[in-house]
Structure 1
Amino acid sequence: MKNVFFIYIFLFTFAVEAQIKHNVAKGETVYQIAKKYQVTPFDIYRLNPDAKNGVQENTTLLIPKAGSNTSGITHKVAPKETLFGIAKKYNVSVSDIEKWNKDTLQEGLKIGQEIYVSKPSVSSKPNIQKEIKPEVKTLDVVKEEKVKTTISTFSHTVVAQETKYGIATKYGLSVEELEKLNPQIAEGLKVGEILKIKTTQEKKVTIVGKGQYEVQPKETLFSLSKKLNISQEDLLDLNPELKNGLKEGMVLNVPSRKMARDTVFSAKPKVDLLQTIDKNEQKELVLFLPFSMDKIENDSLKSKTEHLKTNKFLNLTLDFYAGALKAVDSAKVLGLPVNVKIYDVESSKYTSNIASIIAKNDFSNVDAVIGPFQSSHVESAAQLLSKYNIPVISPLSKEKGLALPNLYYAIPSEEKLKANLFAYFKQKEGNVVAIISTKKNTSRDYLTANYPEAKHAIFNDKGALDMVHFKAQLVKGKPNFVILEIEKSGTILSITNTLKNLQKEYDIQLVVFEVYDALNFEEIPIKNLTALKMMYPSVSKVIETPEEFIFAAAFKKDNNIAPNAAAVKGFDITFDTILRICQEEGFVNSVSKYKTEYVGNSFDYSNENGANNNNGCYLLYYDNDLTIKKAQ
Structure 2
Amino acid sequence: MVSGIAYAQQYKSHKVAKGENVYRIAKRYNTTPEAIYKINPTAKDGISEGEILAVPVLGNQEYKIHVVEKGDTVYSLSKKYNISVETIYLLNPEADKGINLGQILNVGKMEEKEVAAVDVNKEKGKDAVLDSLKIAPKEQEIIRYITHKVKKKETLYGIAKNYKITVEDIKKNNKRLYSEQIRKKDKLRIPVFANDPVGNETSKVLTDSRLSTTTRYTVKPKDTKYSIARRHGVTINELEQLNPNMSSGFPVGMQITVPTSVFVSLKDAVQPGFELYQVKPKETIFRILRRTGISSDSLFKMNPYLREGLKAGMVITIPKDTISISKGLSKEKYVDLGKNLYNFTPKKVAVMLPFSLDTLNFEARKQTESYLKSKQSLRIALDLYSGVLIAIDSAKTRGITTELTVFDTHRNNNREHIKNLIHENDFENTDAIIGPLYQSNAEIVASELKKYNTPVFSPASRKESKLHDNFFQTRPTNKILQDKIISFVEKDSISKNIVIIVQKGGKYEEVKKKLIAKFPNAKIAKIEEGNYLYEVRLNKALDKNKPNWIFLESNDVAMISNVIPLLNAKAESHKITLFTTDKNNAFDNDNIKNEHLSKLHMHYPSVDKEFDNKEIEEGEEIAPFVKRYKREYGSDPNKWAIRGFDIAYDILMRLGTADDLYKASFDGTTEYVENKFNYSKKLLGGYSNEAVYLIKFDDDLKLNIVE
Normalising by structure 2, what TM-score? 0.53
1:568 alignment partner in structure 2: 642
Instruction: Note if 1:54 corresponds to 2:122.
Output: no
1:432 aligns with 2:498: yes
Distance in 2 between the 1:490 and 1:550 partners? 41
| 2:699 alignment counterpart | 624
Give the C-alpha shift of residue 467 in structure 1: 4.6
Q: Could you say if the C-alpha distance between residues 554 and 368 of structure 1 is closer, same or farther in structure 2, counting changes exceeding 3 Å?
A: same
Aligned partner (choices 579, 583, 591) of residue 511 of structure 1: 579
Asked if the contact 1:354/1:381 (under 8 Å) is kept, the reply is yes
Residue by residue, what CA displacement relative to the aligned partner does 1:153-209 show, whole Å, maximum 9, x if unpaired?
Answer: 455555899379xxxxxxxxxxxxxxxx999878555xxxx9999869xxxxxxxxx
What is the aligned partner in structure 2 of residue 284 from structure 1? Answer: 348
Shift in alpha-carbon separation, 1:12–1:415, aligned structure 2, 3 A:
closer
Provide closer, same or farther for how the CA distance between residues 8 and 320 of structure 1 changes in structure 2, counting only shifts above 3 A: same
Deviations 1:298-354 (A, max 9, x none): 998983222212211111110111111111111122231322222222333343522
Q: Which residue of 525, 534, 537 corresponds with 1:457?
A: 525
Compute the displacement of 1:565 (Å).
1.4
8 A contact 2:533–2:562 mirrored in 1? no
For residues 389-423 of structure 1, the C-alpha deviation after alignment (integer angstroms, 9 at most, x for no partner) is: 22111111112333311111111000000000101
Kept in 2, the 8 Å contact 1:182–1:195? The answer is no
What is the alpha-carbon distance in structure 2 between the residues aligned to residue 300 and residue 313 of structure 1? 21
- The residue identity in structure 2 corresponding to 1:304 is T
The one of 346, 356, 373 equivalent to 2:420 is 356
Q: Which residue of structure 2 aligns with residue 233 of structure 1?
A: none
After TM superposition, give the deviation of residue 454 of structure 1 in Å: 3.5
8 Å CA contact retained: 1:368, 1:390: yes
Rounded Cα–Cα distance in structure 2 between residues aligned with 1:29 and 1:376: 45
CA contact (8 A) 1:153 1:196 kept: no
Q: Does 1:162 align with 2:287?
A: no
Q: Distance in 1 between matches of 2:282 and 2:460?
A: 30
Change (3 A) 1:288 1:13: closer
**Structure 1 residue 273: Cα displacement:** 0.6
Structure 1 residues 37-78: Cα deviation after superposition (integer angstroms, max 9, x where no partner): xxxxx998443477698289xxxxxxxxxxxxxxxxxxxxxx
CA contact (8 A) 2:292 2:325 kept: no
Cα distance between partner residues in 1 of 2:667 and 2:520: 33
Task: Determine helix, strand or coil for the equivalent of 1:339.
Answer: strand
Flag the 1:46–1:373 CA change in 2: closer, same or farther, 3 A.
farther
1:589 is matched with 663
Q: Once the two structures are superposed, what CA deviation does each residue of 1:205-232 show, in whole Å capped at 9, x if it has no partner?
A: xxxxxxxxxxxxxxxxxxxxxxxxxxxx
CA distance 1:590–1:29, shift in 2 (3 Å): farther
Distance 1:419 1:53, change over 3 A: farther
Match among 565, 574, 595 for residue 497 of structure 1: 565
Match of 2:480 in 1: 416
Let me know the Cα RMSD of the aligned residues: 4.2
One-letter identity of the residue aligned with 1:162: G
Contact 1:269 1:593 in 2 (8 A): no
What's the offset of the Cα at 1:294? 2.1
* Structure 2: tracts of 5 or more residues without a match: 1-119, 130-148, 156-173, 189-279, 296-313
Q: Does 1:443 align with 2:443?
A: no
1:615 aligns with 2:690: yes
Please name the residue that 1:327 is paired with.
Answer: 391
Task: Show the counterpart of 2:597.
Answer: 529
How has the CA–CA distance of structure 1 residues 461 and 592 changed in structure 2, closer, same or farther, with 3 Å as cutoff?
closer
- TM-fit CA distance, 1:431: 3.6
Query: Residues 467-507 of structure 1: CA distance to partner in whole angstroms, max 9, x if unpaired?
Result: 55644544567543211235665553443233223233332
Q: 1:351 to 1:358 in 2, by over 3 A?
A: closer
2:111 alignment counterpart: none
Which residue among 271, 284, 293 is the counterpart of 2:335?
271
Structure 1 607/337 Cα, relative in aligned 2: closer, same or farther at 3 Å?
same
Counterpart of 2:484 in structure 1: which amino acid? N
State how far apart, in whole Å, the 1-side matches of 2:416 and 2:127 are. 48
| Contact 1:542 1:629 (C-alpha < 8 Å) held by counterparts | no
**Among residues 674, 682, 703, which one is paired with 1:600 in the alignment?**
674
Q: Which amino acid aligns with 2:594?
A: I
CA deviation digits over 1:423-465, x for unaligned, max 9? Answer: 1102233442111233443432343345545431124799864
Mapping 1:180-195, distance limit 5 Å: 188-189=321-322
Tell whether the 8 Å contact from 2:502 to 2:512 is kept in structure 1 after alignment.
Answer: yes
Does the CA contact (< 8 Å) of 1:153 and 1:197 recur in 2?
no
Question: Is this contact kept in 1: 2:343–2:659, CA < 8 A?
Answer: no
Q: Do the aligned partners of residues 610 and 53 (structure 1) sit closer, same or farther apart at CA in structure 2, a change above 3 Å counting?
A: farther
Q: Distance in 1 between matches of 2:607 and 2:360?
A: 32
Q: C-alpha separation between the residues in 2 aligned to 1:188 and 1:462?
A: 67
Partner of 2:654: 580
Sequence identity, in percent? Answer: 27
CA distance in 2, matches of 1:322, 1:493: 37
Could you tell me the TM-score, scaled by structure 1's length? 0.59
Which residue is equivalent to 2:11? none
The one of 454, 458, 470 equivalent to 1:390 is: 454
User: What's the secondary structure of 2:564's corresponding residue?
Assistant: helix
User: Structure 2 vs 1, CA of residues 470 and 331 (structure 1 numbering), >3 Å: closer, same or farther?
Assistant: same
Query: Contact conserved, 2:437 with 2:461, CA < 8 A, in 1?
Result: yes
Does residue 535 of structure 2 align to residue 403 of structure 1?
A: no
Distance in structure 2 (CA, Å) of the matches to 1:392 and 1:530 = 39
CA offset at residue 616 of structure 1? 1.0
Q: Distance in 2 between matches of 1:396 and 1:590?
A: 21
Q: How many angstroms does 1:596 deviate by? A: 0.6
Question: 2:478 & 2:562 partners in 1: Cα distance?
Answer: 28
Aligned 8 A contact 1:323 1:569 in 2: yes
Residue in structure 2 matching 1:549, options 589, 600, 623 = 623
Q: Distance in 2 between matches of 1:463 and 1:184?
A: 66
- What does 1:204-243 correspond to in 2, within 5 Å? none
> Deviations along 1:84-105, whole A, 9 cap, x unmatched?
xxxxxxxxxxxxxxxxxxxxxx
Alpha carbons 2:291, 2:324 under 8 Å: kept: no
**One-letter amino acid of the structure 2 residue matched with residue 586 of structure 1:** D
Change in CA separation of 1:625 and 1:347 when aligned onto 2, cut-off 3 Å: same
